[in-house]
Amino acid sequence: MVHRTPPALLPDDAHERAARDRGARFVVGLDEVGRGPWAGPVVACAARLTGDAPAGLNDSKKLTAARREALVPLLLACCDVGFGEASVEEIDTLNIRQATHLAMRRAVAALSHPPDHLLIDGNDCPAWVDCSHELLIKGDGRSLSIAAASVLAKTRRDQGMVSLAQQHPGYGWETNAGYGTRSHQDGLLKHGVTQHHRRSFAPIRKILCS
């Protein structure tokens, strides 16, 4: 079931409450970050609110980096959280869609309690989902659980790319998170392709074949 209603100005818990009214006990929001970058893993987070969500929680893309980082300890204090990643090697072997689904599966498996209802951002349901679920277009701006997963996945991946930037300076990963920005393109021209680049992605494949 795909919901295409316009997103609210701020996410709320309407979908969570509706699921609990239908008998669900463990309602989990699921989101991912990193499908588009040319380098680095794709990261997913599954989040179940166990307390009140912190004020100002929203879609991670609508928050500053400082605000996202400030929310992390608050979210970890009020959520059961699971993280999952798919590596560059898995992205290149499986394709980015299947690797994303693998990261999501790992995130759900890392929760303290398996969900009996999933709120999934987007319109693409992984084949492994075997519980009741809803696909929410722009769900990170509509559901507090998905918003929490969105912020946590984004900050985790960004921190990982900062660490990779320290090992491989010159690509701007500490600011571009592996996306194909001008600084990243300039780094590729100067330093070449690393083991952290997605060789199945057309811009990287073009460099390797030139």
Task: Give the start-to-end residue ranges of the domains of the chain.
Answer: 2-156
At 4-22, the pLDDT tens digits run: 655 547 999 999 999 999 9
Residues 182-208 have a mean pLDDT of 97
pLDDT tens string 57-78? 999 999 999 999 999 999 999 9
Angle at 68 between CA 90 and CA 119, to 5 degrees: 60
**Binding residue numbers:** 31-32, 121
Task: Note whether 132 and 117 are within 8 A (CB).
Answer: yes
pLDDT digits (tens, 9 = 90+) for 16-55: 999 999 999 999 999 999 999 999 999 999 999 999 999 9
Query: What is d(CA 129, CA 141) in angstroms, rounded to the nearest whole number?
Result: 22
Superfamily per CATH, domain 2-156: Ribonuclease H-like superfamily/Ribonuclease H (3.30.420.10)
Rounded to the nearest 5°, which phi and psi values hold at 4?
-120, 20
Binding site members for a divalent metal cation = 31-32, 121
Is the pLDDT at 3 greater than 70, yes or no? no
How far apart, in Å, are the Cα atoms of 199 and each of 24, 55, 117? Answer: 42, 41, 36
pLDDT tens digits for range 109-133: 999 999 999 999 999 999 999 999 9
pLDDT of residue 23: 97
